Chains A and B, each alone.
Chain A
Amino acid sequence: MTQDLLNADSPPNPIEWAGWGLLALLTATILALAIFRPTDPGTIVDEIRLRAGFDRYQAAMNEGDRLLSRATADFRLAVRTDDDRSTEYAMLAEAEQRFLTARREAEGFGEDQRAQIGLLDVYYAWAQALYLDGTGEWYRRNDRAVLERARDLAERGLALPNITGAQRGRMADLKTRIDRAITPWPIL
């Protein structure tokens, strides 16, 4: 206790200064985590790169790829088809924004095409999930609003200028299925 009281009046030694520094660092970390809400260690690095303007193209591509693969994995893992997919849709919307950022930051045709292929994959996964949501069991009526949203996404994918023929064909097939679900008897 006597030593403590002496310490209270004496100037801080280097170890104590380090302690105060550590406290400031911990507090800053808590505030940064609370404000930026990262969800992955890689996200922290990519967010820093995006905000600092350092290699923004690659950071945006990494984030887009990560979000897309997580959403796709979640869709595969879903046991019940009527599970709420709002989290996955939010991920896909975020991935879309990342790939759009990558397109803006792209330098040259190759980088732009990579970003467009990423976008197409996002639109395909999103439209397919919406298609499954909109077409339920035989005794249920198809959800026209959901299917129209899926068709809109498919059309956005098909409007991308630099995707390959195979990718365009895959998306066109999905759009045909969606169209048929919206209008089962086109002749009428």
Chain B
Amino acid sequence: MTTLTLPRRTVLGACLLLALATLVGGLDLPAHGYAAFQFAPFGLVAGLLGIVYVFVLSNRELIRLGTGWHRGLLMVYWVAGTATAFRILLPPPGLVQVGLAVTTALAAAVIVSRPNRESAVVWLGIVAVTLAVMKFGLVPLFEARSELPDWGPFQLGQTADALRDLFVAYTPQRPAAQAIHFGALACYTAALWIQWRPPSSVDGTAG
């Protein structure tokens, strides 16, 4: 593998976009409760998925980590940005999240086996869209259609809530949350895009 060097400004631009994605993507706007906003950075599951995907994406050359101190810096920001993207896309804790997290980890094997960058990036998009549909389409629908009433001493509502939380502990957010999370994913995509062009190798030839 040829050692590649990244222009310093490209490194800076990618880091800025990833930091912005981490900042904006960590914000939640709860629909209930006293918090006007909450900053909830990625947890262990999203963090590990971030590490796995950064390895896969750098292996397929979707992201370029460069050399020297650029490499360490970019690795930190790419892991944080990727983990934040998974934090946005994975549903809240519950059995649904377990299933999707495992499937997403397995999907990394599909991406790493793609023959070229274009195919790999399309598969990355498929993973993202699938997770988004599950979280923003299916989970709210499930939440809205799975209520039961309380009939006097028969607390069916409480039982339904407990059962529902086993599958997904859904916490509704204000509509603006989707817009800011989309902004975070757009920043992540822009970071992918600005370093898409192959950089030069250390001997000065284009890679």
Contact = CB atoms under 8 A, between A and B. Distances in A.
Q: Do A and B bind each other?
A: yes
Interface of A: 1, 4-5, 7-8, 12, 16, 19-20, 22-23, 26-27, 29-30, 33-34, 37-41, 66-67, 70-71, 74, 80, 82, 87-88, 91, 137, 139-140
Interface string B191-207: 00000010110001010
B152 A30 contact: no
The SS class assigned to the A binding surface is helix
B158 A82 contact: yes
Contact of B26 (A16, A27, A30, A66): A30
Contact of A19 (B12, B34, B200, B206): B12
Contacts of A82: 150, 155, 157-158
A87 to B, nearest CB: 5
Contacts of B157: 80, 82
Contacts of A80: 150, 157
Nearest to B204: A5
Interface of B: 5, 7-10, 12-13, 15-16, 19-20, 22-23, 26, 32-39, 41, 150, 152-153, 155, 157-158, 197, 199-200, 204, 206
Contact of B37 (A1, A12, A23, A40): A40
A139 B153 contact: yes
B8 A74 contact: no
Contact of B39 (A7, A38, A91, A137): A38
A7 B34 contact: no
A156 to B, nearest CB: 22
Nearest to A24: B19
Given A33-B23, A39-B38, A41-B36, A26 B200 contact: no
Given A1-B206, A16-B8, A19-B16, A26 B36 contact: no
B34 A39 contact: yes
A5 B200 contact: yes
Contacts of B16: 19, 22-23, 26
B153 to A, nearest CB: 6
Contact of A23 (B15, B197, B200, B206): B15
B41 to A, nearest CB: 5
B154 to A, nearest CB: 11
B204 A91 contact: no
Contacts of B35: 39-40
B7 A7 contact: yes
Contacts of A139: 152-153
A27 B16 CA distance: 9
Given A7-B7, A16-B9, A38-B39, A33 B26 contact: yes
A56 to B, nearest CB: 21
A30 B23 contact: yes
Contacts of A40: 34-37
A26 B20 contact: yes
